[in-house]
Homo-oligomer: A and B are copies of this chain.
């Protein structure tokens, strides 16, 4: 649950044996996390679980009780291993059955004679859920309570994010500034940077070492919801980097667009 009125939190729950076996490489976590950051929703946790009812229900209940939103991906297709919708119904203690509106959506793509039992699985929706239209392949996702259930196929999931995002409550966006310099070594500045971080508790300060253009390079990333707090921390960090970077190296300051 959210801690202040301006903060909206989320978790991502990826469902699928194929991710855990490594056979399929997940492309959804990073996409959703970046998307939510841009909306002003802070992703606080991610879990990946197998196609097993107990695992899905347990993770879902842990996450939906703790965060403002839970985004699930995977397990809403037509085969026996697609059990996400049933697990969500179970977690919420509601019934599940074929939803007339979801069935009509399937019929936009599938001829009625081909709408067999397997395909109709994709129209089984927990009672009380609101559908999320799928412009790519029609079989809808859905939202029930604070849980948003989407497809695992990246192109379909991405389309569903666009459909559902206007319905979401969003918080104050994190603003960010990156400060970096060629030849700046993380180990040289670690202590001073830590002292600055302690002096600016409202700013989240990360440090990411890189090898770039054949030399060490450190990117310092400062994030805050308050522009004044961010600017004050930035000033201290820039002064510290100025003193620690090689003389000929330029400080590069980047502000991603809000």
Q: Which A residues are within 8 Å of any B CB, using their own CB? A: 14, 17-26, 29-37, 42-51, 55, 77-81, 110, 114, 116-119, 121-122, 153, 174, 176, 186-191, 193-194, 197-198, 204-209, 221, 223
Contacts and interface: CB of A to CB of B under 8 A. Distances in A.
Contacts of A17: 204, 206
Contacts of A81: 197, 205-207
A159 B59 CA distance: 32
A136 B42 CA distance: 34
Nearest to A117: B191
In the complex, the 3 A-B pairs of residues with the closest C-beta atoms, listed nearest first: A118-B190, A22-B34, A80-B194
A191 B116 contact: yes
B77 A207 contact: yes
A18 B190 contact: no
Nearest to A194: B80
B30 A43 contact: no
B33 A22 contact: yes
